[in-house]
Amino acid sequence: MKRHSRGFTLVEVMIVVAIIAILASILIPSIIRARTNARVARVASNLKTFAAGFHMYYNLNGALPADAHLTLPAGMTDFIAADDWSSDALGGTFNWEGPTWGEGGPYDYAGISLFGTTASLEELTMLDTALDDGNLSTGVFRQMSNGRYTYVIEE
């Protein structure tokens, strides 16, 4: 007596693989877009929180802190966690560009820049839209003359 075992044919396996490939091609871009949106939202939230911290510092001290390259300015740890300041979710580092009005310094504004960011222009535009007007050359979040994208607190 012969035994007949029933298995999948090559055509059936290929159809299943094709269906999985189609579903993956639909799902993967959505996952990437969701991750990008989450990273942009995180940086936007951090910038707003940091700006509030600098405003509180100003209210207590009567002035904004001096420029501090890549480090959290002295006295700001009461308002901003150093771990939150260390890097941004878009591949760079937060940088305080403190005001140097009338002192011959490089900044005629006070703001938080994204130093060394690896974010794409699309991601930066999404960030600008979340914070401002969606135009990287105008508004409170824009590209400054030093080439850095900066959330301007005061001009």
pLDDT in tens, 48-80: 999 999 999 999 999 999 888 888 998 999 999
Q: What pTM value is reported for the model? A: 0.83
pLDDT tens digit sequence for 132-152: 999 999 999 999 999 999 999
Residues linked to residue 80 through DSSP beta bridges, in sequence order: none
Tokens representing 63 are: 């002035």
Q: Compute the distance between CA of residue 8 and CA of residue 52 in angstroms, rounded to an integer.
A: 63
DSSP 8-state secondary structure symbol assigned to residue 2: -
Q: In what order do the strands lie in the sheet with 141-143?
A: 93-97, 110-115, 149-154, 141-143
Beta bridge pairs of residue 33: none
Structure tokens at 10: 């090559």
